[in-house]
Every structure is written in structure tokens, then in C-alpha cells.
Amino acid sequence: MTKKPFGTLPQKDLLTVAQLGPGDVETIFGATTAIKSDRAAYSEALRGKRLAMIFEKDSLRTRFTFDVGMQDLGGSAVFMDHRDVRLGSRESLKDMARNLERWVDGIVARVFKQRALEEIAANCNIPVINGLSDHVHPCQALSDFFTLTERWGNVKGRRLVYVGDGNNTCHSLLHVAARLGAHITVCSPEGYEPNARVVSEAMLMARESGSDIQITNDPELAVKGADAVYTDVWASMGQEDEIEERSSIFNDYRVDEEMMALAKPDALFMHCLPAHRGQEVTAGVIDGPNSIVYDIAENRLHVQKAILVLLMGDKR
């Protein structure tokens, strides 16, 4: 008989971590631990269930982990490639959503605009999961912090320093840190800080959890004494025309051996991948002994399987 993860998620969708309650992240992590530790026990958790995978952007980790995850859980996934034809151009998002809910049991979407996800979710009665948008990347940040939890036992009171562009991944890291009581410092060049609304959301959550949130432009000050250092590409998908300009602006924000030496001796290095060695991080750091980038990539599979079961599984 298939085991069930502990707890449930009251939400229909996972569009952003900001919509999760104080105990919801722990529920996801508890389910992740259970599923990761006994794959066979959950091999029929989503038997007969189907997932639609709508992708406007290229993907390795998100596409493979959701597809393989559904197979591991006894379900199936159907890939919908929208890289050439943008969502809503051939058919309205409303009509797409209302058709899909008749055929499948859940949707994961990797999109350019957060509002596209919100419109899909508003027009169907099946779960919608954010596989990445211009605003947030919740599955990535949940996998990041689950990996830290595995390493440390508890992230509360630990400090993660994010160095680089205040982008979608950074936004979700702020949300998860604030929910779990982890301290987080974001260090970006002036004008590239995280969205002010996201910072306000995180600050509000931090009042409950005890998380300390700092935003700065000074890499040396930020990284000093850090428990973990995180970076991401300087130009995300859709910003290719800004690569040359950003390379100059972000040059002092490269995570190299000298910067890591400012953190604690056992500080972990984190990156959501794909990485550009020699740009945002040196090869010596990302390929070094304190790098956990591939542990995080593996945990994308386990965390997303937990999310799928919690949102698409039997709620009885």
C-alpha cells in the first residue's frame, strides 16, 4: 500500500512561495524526505494522473525532473513546447486552461510572464505549478533550502548570502528564507536589487519567523561570515541583449576564491544552474569541495515530487 506524506497543502496552486502559510514549507520538506527515502513506497502515489508541461523557455532540470517525477509516482506527463509560439497568441489562456482541465490533473508552466501563470490558474480547477516565471522560481528555492536543511539539520539562524542580480530565483530565496527563519543578505549592483514588493513580502514574513533580511551593494561586507554563498547568471533568459553591459556592471560581484575566503571556512557554495564558469563564478569555486550545486539539482526531483503529490494526490 502506498504511503502518504505527512500533512497537506490547502492551496490549489503553487505560483509563489509567498502564498504558502508558515507551516507549508515544512510540510513540503517532510513529504520530500519521505519520498526521497523510500521511492518504491510512492511508486503509485499518482497512478493514472496526467501532468501538462507548458514551456515557453528552454529547460534541463525543470523539464526532466517533472517528467521523471511523474513517472516515478506512477503518472505521466505531456510536454507542450511554446518556445516558438508564445502563450496566448494562437488561443487565449482562458480557453487553453479550460481545455486542459478536462484532459489532465495538473499543469506545470515555465513562462516569461507571471501574469500568464496567474491567468491559467484563475481559469481552471486543477493545480498549477510555477516552473519558473520572470517574477519568481519557487521550486528552485524550495530545493535550495531543502538541501541546506539536509546539510545543517535546521536553517534557522543561518545566513545565506546571495550575490548577483535580484532576479526571480533571488525573489524566491527571500520568500523561503523568511518563512523558515533563515537570515539572508542580497548583494546586487545599484539598480539591480530585488523587487521592492518582494522584499516587503519577505520582511512581513520575517516578523513571524525571526529571519533577518539585508539588502546591500557591498560584496565584501555581505559575504563576511556567511554560512552559504549563492549566485546566479548575470543575464537571465530574455536578457541576452544585455550580456555585454551586465558583464561590466557585475564584474566585482563574481564569486571567486577570494570572495569565498571572506565567508566561514566551511561555507557552502550554491548555484541554480546553468552556470557560466569565469563569469558569475570561477571554476575553482563551483567545482570545489564546498559546492553543493549537484545536490541541489538532484533535490529538484524529490522536492517537486512532493509538491506533485501534495497538490495532485488523494486529499482524503
Q: Which of 137, 158, 175, 183 is catalytic?
A: 137
Give the DSSP H/E element, type plus range, for residue 160: strand 159-163
Q: Where does the pLDDT of residue 239 fall: very low under 50, low under 70, confident under 90, or very high at 90 and above? A: low
* Burial (CB count within 10 angstroms: exposed 0-12, middle 13-18, buried 19+), residue 204: exposed
For the chain, what is the largest distance between any 2 Cα atoms, rounded to a whole number of angstroms?
57
Residue 69 Cα to chain centre, angstroms? 16
- CATH 3.40.50.1370 domain span(s) along the chain: 17-136+299-312, 139-296
Q: Is 140 tagged catalytic?
A: yes
Domain 139-296 classification at class level? alpha beta
Q: What is the pLDDT of residues 11-36, one digit of tens each?
A: 999 999 999 998 999 999 999 999 99
Could you tell me the strand order of the sheet in which 76-81 lies? Answer: 76-81, 50-55, 106-110, 128-132
Q: Where does the pLDDT of residue 245 fall: very low under 50, low under 70, confident under 90, or very high at 90 and above? A: confident
Predicted local distance difference test score (pLDDT) of residue 88: 78
Predicted local distance difference test score (pLDDT) of residue 78: 97
Q: Which of 75-89, 98-112, 133-147, 187-201 has the lowest mean pLDDT?
A: 75-89
Q: Is 271 tagged catalytic?
A: no
d(CA 292, CA 118): 32
Q: 226 in the Ramachandran plot: left (φ > 0), alpha (ψ -120 to 50) or beta?
A: beta
Residue 146 reports pLDDT greater than 90: yes
Higher pLDDT pick, 246 / 267: 267
Residue 238 reports pLDDT greater than 90: no
Predicted local distance difference test score (pLDDT) of residue 1: 45
Tell me the average pLDDT across 228-239: 85
Q: Is 187 tagged catalytic?
A: no
Q: Which amino acid is at 62?
A: T
Tell me the average pLDDT across 62-82: 96
**What beta strand segments (E) does the chain contain?**
50-55, 76-81, 106-110, 128-132, 159-163, 183-187, 213-216, 228-231, 268-271
Residue 302 reports pLDDT greater than 70: yes
Q: What is the pLDDT of residues 162-196, one digit of tens each?
A: 999 999 999 999 999 999 999 999 999 999 999 99
Assign 214 to helix, strand or coil. Answer: strand
Q: Is 139 tagged catalytic?
A: no
Tell me the average pLDDT across 256-262: 98
Q: Which of 232, 246, 254, 304 is catalytic?
A: 232
Q: Which residues have C-beta within 8 Å of that of residue 45, sequence separation ≥ 6? A: 2, 4, 35, 73, 74, 309, 313
Q: Which of 135, 158, 272, 304 is catalytic?
A: 272
Q: Which of 24, 63, 140, 179 is catalytic?
A: 140
d(CA 164, CA 9): 32
Q: Which of 194-203, 269-278, 306-315 has the lowest mean pLDDT?
A: 306-315
Q: Where does the pLDDT of residue 316 fall: very low under 50, low under 70, confident under 90, or very high at 90 and above? A: very low
Predicted local distance difference test score (pLDDT) of residue 89: 76
Name the CA dihedral angle for 82, 88, 94, 95, rounded to a multiple of 10 degrees.
Answer: -70
The CATH code of domain 17-136+299-312 reads 3.40.50.1370
Predicted local distance difference test score (pLDDT) of residue 235: 80
Higher pLDDT pick, 86 / 148: 148
* Helix 24-37 vs helix 138-152: crossing angle, to nearest 10: 70
Whole-prediction pTM: 0.96
Q: Is 110 tagged catalytic?
A: yes
Q: CA of 240: how far to CAs of 233, 237, 246, 251, in Å?
A: 11, 7, 10, 17
Q: Which residues have C-beta within 8 Å of that of residue 123, sequence separation ≥ 6? A: 93, 94, 97, 98
Q: Where does the pLDDT of residue 240 fall: very low under 50, low under 70, confident under 90, or very high at 90 and above? A: low
* Burial (CB count within 10 angstroms: exposed 0-12, middle 13-18, buried 19+), residue 112: middle
Tell me the average pLDDT across 149-172: 97
8-state DSSP, 73:
T
Q: What is the pLDDT of residues 208-226, one digit of tens each?
A: 999 999 999 999 999 999 9
Q: Which of 82-91, 144-153, 194-203, 250-259 has the lowest mean pLDDT?
A: 82-91
Return mean pLDDT, the chain: 94
| Cell numbers describing residue 102 | 478536462
Predicted local distance difference test score (pLDDT) of residue 241: 72
Give the DSSP H/E element, type plus range, for residue 131: strand 128-132
